[in-house]
A and B are shown apart, each in its own frame.
Chain A
Amino acid sequence: MSAFNAIGEEREIDRDEFTPGVEPQPTWCPGCGDFGVLKSLKQALPEVGKTPEEVLTVTGIGCSGKLNSYLDTYGFHTIHGRSLPVARAAKLANPELEVIAAGGDGDGYGIGGNHWIHTARENHDITYIVFNNEIFGLTKGQTSPTSPKGHKSKTQPSGSAKMPLRPLSMSLNAGASYVARTAAVNPNQAKEIIKEAIEHDGFAHVDFLTQCPTWNKDARQYVPYIDVQESDDYDFDVTDRREAAEMMHETEDVLNEGTVLTGRYYVDEDRPSYTEEKKAVGELPDEPLAERYFDDDAEWERSYDLLDRHK
């Protein structure tokens, strides 16, 4: 008998199941883009056939980190910047869990930057949603790694001297096998992208533009966006690294100049996920390791059997 019967359960799933029945009311500000992520996840999850109990959402700290307080799955609200290492290990321990990591641009691209690059490089089968509002929200409006050059804030009163980070290009270069950008102001696309990301077998990075009306009124994310997949002007092959890279550059060049391009930029269906790679070299058991602890018939090796080399 399985110890994790919620995993792979086949039944009609109601969207409402993902909403906590008793408290808490979201503490996000009215008009916050984070509502958009929550909504698209609640729509996407039943559509890809996931039950709340087989999903583990792992978040960092920030307004974004509250996502799983309002989304009724198994959740782990970790610490600032560390959602990915926690998520990675949960996936390795039990590859059958649907693991979704989420955080903010400060959380994920700033303090957690190292983990992001390495998770992409290893191509863990995780969906990673970064709420990119180009600002630190929860700590009240400081400049973030994606804030445009010249952005003024309380901690950079003369305007930031730094170039903004380019999340799409970074992720592609690091090795992510799915890279997309979507926006809270574009709910239909957002839902589709999230669905694709969840179904993608590998590291799926979604840079999710979320507006922060409280601290970042100037952000360009309110302007009309263009969906690159739907526009003939931006015809490119999403499975081609070079073409994808070029498109990402173009997108990232113009983000803060009035045009917001969103869509799928790169999809590599051929690259094996980390779990597969690790199995292939014999470093990951075929059955989920977590299951073994509930198996009364499992054989547990003893150190006693290793002592020969010490005699």
Chain B
Amino acid sequence: MSDDELIWRIAGGSGDGIDSTSQNFAKALMRSGLDIFTHRHYPSRIRGGHTYVEIRAADHEVQSRGDGYNFLLSLGDSFARNPQEEAFYGNEEIKPLSENLDELREGGIIVYDEGLISEEDVEAINLEERAEENNWHVFPIDLRSLAKEHGREVMRNTAGVGVTAALLDMELEHIENLMSDAMSDDILEANLEILHEAYEMTIEEYDFEHDLRAPEGTHETEQALLSGSNAIAYGAIDGGCRFISGYPMTPWTDVFTILSQNFPDMGGISEQVEDEIAAAALAVGASHAGVKAMSGSSGGGFALMSEPLGLAEMTETPLVLVESMRAGPSTGMPTKPEQGDLEFVLYTSQGDSSRVVFAPGTIEEAYEQTRLAFDIAWEYQIPTIIIYDQKLSGENTNVDVEFFDREPEPGLGTTLTEEELLEAAHDASGKFERFGYDDNEKNVSKRSLPGQKGGRYLATGNEHSPVGHISEDPDNRVYQMTRRIEKLDSIREELDEEHPSNQTYYGDETADYGIITWGSSHGAVAEAVERLNDDGHSVKGITVSDMMPFPEKEMTEFLESVDEAMVVEMNATAQFRGLIQKELGRFGEKLTSLLKYNGNPFEPAEVVEGYEVNVAEEEREPTAQVRIEPAAGD
């Protein structure tokens, strides 16, 4: 837990502008040269209800939310209601203060809005006593009045930022510039006034006894702050996608929204439709007609897409779907992350169906693998799925702007032009042998598009002959089925040769203890591995992104090189560990699991603890809300 980092938490009521304020502040910190990682916690309701955003900023790379935090700006919940004693959502304006104290580090700072949080409430939670115990520095400031005096009450967020900047000894320049960019003149002036007023007032009226100051850093290159949803949307744009169809469902809605907002200017098409079956079916229809198309949803909506997914596979229509996991089963916890849909995404849809599944673990991978998903879908005429979660979808990280400086790839892969169709095989009635027996490089037969001369055929979800006639001929069935399934082998070969980087290795190469994870748990695990090695342990880690086709060779090598390994994932049934055992057919005795499924992502300390309990076989349960699932045979 290094002290050269700031983890700033802004807490308030949902709808109080926590999100936009934190976005701006995070960007200001990034502009001052720091690396950023944000984490968002919010309840499933529109207004009111305790919510917070954490911004971790340091002069070195940050890959996770970190452990705990060291600065709390508590604005109170201005939408608080439900005065009944037992009310689930509570009336507690105080929650943004009281609910956050457990994770505040020793020596941390608390600023709370005295204008909204009453003195009695503060007394009732024994803040003074706790502050003394933990050496917290508490600043009760009437942010509300300050905001009201110079503008409007809602601008208390700005006052809070001003106080923060003063206490952390930050320059206001970056914050001012961002405000000027984001605000219209009429509110800008008032906000700037409030910002300065709060800043000056804090410096004048308080003694700073705390040690915490904003870290200093520089970036050699220009940075951009973006989320996993941004990265997926941008990967799609650069992968040539210009058609999106969807139905809103948290957290997939972000990707849907970003593309819907950009497509009109790019000549793309976005459709919000009646349900998720339609959404995926539209993507299939658009792709069939010759456009690079995508759809997506979260677990419940993805369940409905299982039919069109199978249709795309059987008709060999290229298709990209994204699945943003949230805690299930059923509607589960709409705003909480979980990695619980892995098996569902791998196996949903009837028959021996196959698809490609990528699970990016970082913002860069989200971009990269979305591009790859389009490439592979159109090259191999197979559905590809990006599985990610509420965590990756919402967390913001800074990325080198250069990273995105590349050429788009709109190519339609193995789609023929009319000239090429002239040369292609046709049956006696002039139908194009779309699913022909010859010309099957990598198990892919070339495709034509409706409206092309000489390309006429029938696409059908039934088993079909080379020109697409429904067929139950046994030889044809075996041929077509085998070819469709074996595409995965061809894809595996290509991935091994050209994209082994989908898997990320870290830690001590010579270690005989391994930690394995996937998807968005990557950051916390990578930091934990680094910390363990710094503390004198010897551990190596791997984060896997290729879920299907599975990276057999890479995983086998990794597991052969260790005596024991712990699989870290955010679900209750150890789905990824199950996948490893299923795919490799061995290593069961080497694998234990560290599972977390309480709605919050892993913090690095929990992974460190899991390792200690596991390896040292200490007679204790881990303290955090995680579970250890012992190796098979135990």
- Residues A89 and B245 in contact, CB atoms below 8 Å apart: yes
- Residues B277 and A85 in contact, CB atoms below 8 Å apart: yes
- Residues A310 and B289 in contact, CB atoms below 8 Å apart: no
Query: How does the 8 Å CB contact mask read for B198-216 relative to A, with 1 for contact and 0 for none?
Result: 0000000000000000000
Q: How far is the CB of A174 from chain B (nearest CB, A)?
A: 11
Flag whether A78 is at the interface (Cβ < 8 A): yes
Q: How far is the CB of A16 from chain B (nearest CB, A)?
A: 10
Complex CA distance for A240 and B219, rounded to whole angstroms:
68
Complex CA distance for A271 and B230, rounded to whole angstroms:
38
Flag whether A20 is at the interface (Cβ < 8 A): yes
Flag whether B150 is at the interface (Cβ < 8 A): no
Option from B270, B450, B469 in Cβ contact (under 8 Å) with A56: B450
CB interface residues, A 84-99, toward B, < 8 Å:
85-94, 96-97
- Residues B456 and A73 in contact, CB atoms below 8 Å apart: yes
Q: How far is the CB of A277 from chain B (nearest CB, A)?
A: 12
- Residues B428 and A94 in contact, CB atoms below 8 Å apart: no
Total contacting residues, chain B, CB less than 8 A: 83
- Residues B431 and A72 in contact, CB atoms below 8 Å apart: yes
Flag whether A52 is at the interface (Cβ < 8 A): yes
Which A residues touch B274, using CB under 8 A?
A: 114-115, 117-118
Which A residues touch B263, using CB under 8 A?
A: 283
Complex CA distance for A114 and B83, rounded to whole angstroms:
42
- Residues B449 and A118 in contact, CB atoms below 8 Å apart: no
- Residues B408 and A90 in contact, CB atoms below 8 Å apart: no
Flag whether A158 is at the interface (Cβ < 8 A): no
Which B residues touch A88, using CB under 8 A?
A: 282, 285
Flag whether B262 is at the interface (Cβ < 8 A): yes
Query: How does the 8 Å CB contact mask read for A40-58 relative to B, with 1 for contact and 0 for none?
Result: 0000000000001110101
Flag whether B361 is at the interface (Cβ < 8 A): no
Query: How does the 8 Å CB contact mask read for B259-299 relative to A, with 1 for contact and 0 for none?
Result: 00011111111110111011101111110111111000000
Flag whether A285 is at the interface (Cβ < 8 A): yes
Minimal Cβ-Cβ distance residue in A for B290: A290
Complex CA distance for A282 and B261, rounded to whole angstroms:
12
- Residues A89 and B283 in contact, CB atoms below 8 Å apart: yes
- Residues B275 and A114 in contact, CB atoms below 8 Å apart: yes
- Residues A282 and B264 in contact, CB atoms below 8 Å apart: yes
- Residues A58 and B451 in contact, CB atoms below 8 Å apart: no
Flag whether A79 is at the interface (Cβ < 8 A): yes
Flag whether B462 is at the interface (Cβ < 8 A): yes
Which B residues touch A77, using CB under 8 A?
A: 458-462, 470
Query: Which of A69, A73, A91, A93 is packed against the most chain B CB atoms within 10 Å?
Result: A93
Complex CA distance for A9 and B454, rounded to whole angstroms:
13
- 7 A-B pairs with least C-beta separation: A21-B429, A89-B285, A303-B234, A4-B451, A290-B290, A86-B285, A77-B460
9 more A-B residue pairs beyond the given contacts A289-B242, A293-B412, A307-B224, with a C-beta to C-beta distance below 8 A: A53-B452, A89-B282, A93-B285, A118-B278, A284-B269, A289-B243, A293-B410, A304-B404, A311-B225
Q: List residues of B whose CB falls within 8 A of some A CB.
A: 27, 222-226, 230, 233-235, 237-238, 240, 242-243, 245, 262-271, 273-275, 277-279, 281-286, 288-293, 307-308, 310-311, 315, 367, 401, 404-408, 410-412, 417-418, 427-431, 449-462, 468-470
Interface CB pairs A-B, < 8 A, 17: A3-B417, A3-B418, A21-B428, A53-B454, A86-B282, A89-B283, A93-B289, A115-B274, A118-B274, A283-B270, A289-B242, A289-B243, A289-B268, A290-B451, A302-B238, A304-B406, A306-B234
